[in-house]
Structure 1
Amino acid sequence: MKHIKYKSKLKLSPWRKISLGSWKPKGDSSTYVFEDFNVDKVLVFCKQQSISFNSFVIKALSSTINKNNRINSIVRFGNIYQREKNTIFIHTLTNRTKDDLSGVLIEEAFSKEIKEVDIEFKSEIKKVKKGEEKHISSKRNFKIIPAILSKYTLDFLSFLMYSLNIHINLFPSPKDPFGSVMLTNIGSLNLQKAFCPIAPYTRIPMVVSLGRIELKPTILNNEIVKSNISTFGFTFDHRIMDGIHFSKFIETFQSFFSNPKLILK
């Protein structure tokens, strides 16, 4: 059984082949970018719609990926394949007092109403808090694996699931368990900004960190005013994307914050 449904592989330019061959997948292909977002309009919009700020970001990110689907890709055997599904993985703390981290998956958020995304996201978070998360079986099975073997186990499972595209039941989990892009709300931990690493075994092309919202001085109509600002950190795989691709990605993403009503379309 196939683990992930892929579209046909991309036709590679000479430069893309050089990019694929230049960096290993473990760390040195990562590119890091900070971007400040004025979220004044979004906060008002979220209050009007009775939705969470996180839900808005999830749909905005999914919609951006849908319009810039180059990012929704994976490297397999020296080629780039685009995923068919558009899924956002959101890191979630199961319990603030325990050393445990999990996540929820929201599929095809771009095609859903924003309130539907909000209801689904909040429902999935509640399941995690209750111990009913989708990744619970995999985490239980990992308890029996010695720590010294964890890296080799993760690398082997990653090879089976992503390179060979085989779905296995040894460690039951959703297909493509880490989604198209990871989103982590570091602001919930009272952190202003951070770059988050891409875990090699996840085979994701990007991690997005959402920093805490702060009042900062900005310039509006040649006047200094106070605005709610959140700093987003982006870590993306340079083998898949260059600056030209990322600039288009950011331009689309920023448009939802400049005009939140675009999220309703």
Structure 2
Amino acid sequence: MTSRRIPTWRRLAWAAWRPPSDPQFYGELDIDASALLAYLDQVRAVSGVHVTITHLVGRAVAHGLSQVPELRTRVAFGREHERESNDVFFITSLEGGKELSGVKITDVTHKSAVDVAVELTRRHAAIVSGADPEFGRSKALLGWLPIWLLRPVMRCGAWLTTALDLDLTVLGMPRQAFGGAMVTSVGMWGVRRAFSPLAAYYRMPVLVLVGAVEQRAVVVDGQVVARPVLGITATFDHRYVDGSQAVRFAAAAREYCADPRAFEPG
């Protein structure tokens, strides 16, 4: 693992704001989803696995992290430390959407879309059945603590497991629990576009929301035609990311979405 001194502008950002109540900025992309939908049809037919748009966007996010190494960092004691792999946290719903949980998929860059879908389905099923040890311990801890104590415990836990890089799974706090980015879908509820804040204990640079795919009128080669369009929004923590890095991240995500087959691991 490597570490480097944090640039002056980012040191000022860390000094100026508390994490991350203020230093957030937002972005949005409208992506022609034709290639994504065609790839989904193909990979589902070949594998029999229900791969979704959210799985593919998670792979696109991991590709963005690989192309913008400044985002692939964690901060501790005034220095940036490169993360070992591109891990993506997928938010999942329980009890028909009444409760939210999530699963961190490690090293998403080097896993196929099918691998991501299978692992996420398996881990989600374990959480629903109560067989997932990490979630069980975390839920027990959070359910036992009074609300006034939750905030300092969650912040302290995030600092220990991300800044200090400790593995406290036995206490329900796994090492770098949220990975390097977070992905969640609002499209499953028919929502076209939504934004969400970053919580202080995430300690990650970006949260991505996947909207619904809709047929829209777009201009192609000077002609107005109907195309399936996917709306994606992102929330960035300005202490990690500036505008130019966010633009490069978006370009890498768009590159993946234009031809997801090209980025499957060999």
- Give the TM-score taking structure 2 as reference length: 0.89
Q: What's the CA shift for 1:110?
A: 1.0
Cα deviation code 1:203-228 (max 9, x no counterpart):
11111111111111111111111111
CA–CA separation in structure 2 for the residues paired with 1:120 and 1:182: 16
Residue equivalent to 1:26 = 20
What letter is aligned with 1:9? S
CA–CA separation in structure 2 for the residues paired with 1:64 and 1:210: 15
CA–CA separation in structure 1 for the residues paired with 2:14 and 2:250: 23
Q: What's the CA shift for 1:260?
A: 2.4
| 1:14–1:156 Cα change, 3 Å | closer
Contact kept? 1:88, 1:183, Cα under 8 Å = yes
Q: What's the CA shift for 1:170?
A: 5.6
Residue equivalent to 2:188 = 188
What letter is aligned with 1:102? S
Report the 3-state secondary structure (helix = DSSP H, G, I; strand = E; otherwise coil) of the residue aligned with 2:168. Answer: coil
Query: 5, 21, 25: which is aligned to 1:11?
Result: 5
| 1:260–1:155 Cα change, 3 Å | closer
Residue equivalent to 1:249 = 249
Q: Gaps (5+ residues) in structure 1?
A: 1-6
Name whichever of 156-165 and 88-97 sits farther off: 156-165
Residue equivalent to 1:218 = 218
Residue equivalent to 2:48 = none
Residue equivalent to 1:109 = 108
Counting aligned pairs with the same residue, the percent is 24
Name whichever of 166-175 and 64-73 sits farther off: 166-175
CA–CA separation in structure 2 for the residues paired with 1:127 and 1:218: 42
Q: Does 1:47 align with 2:46?
A: no
Residue equivalent to 1:147 = 147
Contact kept? 1:191, 1:211, Cα under 8 Å = yes
Report the 3-state secondary structure (helix = DSSP H, G, I; strand = E; otherwise coil) of the residue aligned with 2:233. Answer: strand
What letter is aligned with 2:15? G
| 1:17–1:229 Cα change, 3 Å | same
Q: How many residues align?
A: 258
Cα deviation code 1:7-57 (max 9, x no counterpart):
322233333333333332122111111111111111011101113222222
| 1:254–1:168 Cα change, 3 Å | same
CA–CA separation in structure 1 for the residues paired with 2:108 and 2:214: 27
CA–CA separation in structure 2 for the residues paired with 1:132 and 1:94: 14
CA–CA separation in structure 1 for the residues paired with 2:194 and 2:4: 32
Contact kept? 1:32, 1:233, Cα under 8 Å = yes
Report the 3-state secondary structure (helix = DSSP H, G, I; strand = E; otherwise coil) of the residue aligned with 2:26. Answer: strand
CA–CA separation in structure 1 for the residues paired with 2:102 and 2:55: 14
Report the 3-state secondary structure (helix = DSSP H, G, I; strand = E; otherwise coil) of the residue aligned with 1:10. Answer: strand
Q: What's the CA shift for 1:156?
A: 2.1
CA–CA separation in structure 1 for the residues paired with 2:246 and 2:181: 14
Q: Gaps (5+ residues) in structure 2?
A: 45-50
The alignment yields a C-alpha RMSD, in angstroms, of 1.9
Q: What's the CA shift for 1:169?
A: 4.9
Report the 3-state secondary structure (helix = DSSP H, G, I; strand = E; otherwise coil) of the residue aligned with 2:214. Answer: strand
Residue equivalent to 2:174 = 174
| 1:54–1:163 Cα change, 3 Å | closer
Name whichever of 215-224 and 126-135 sits farther off: 126-135
- Give the TM-score taking structure 1 as reference length: 0.89
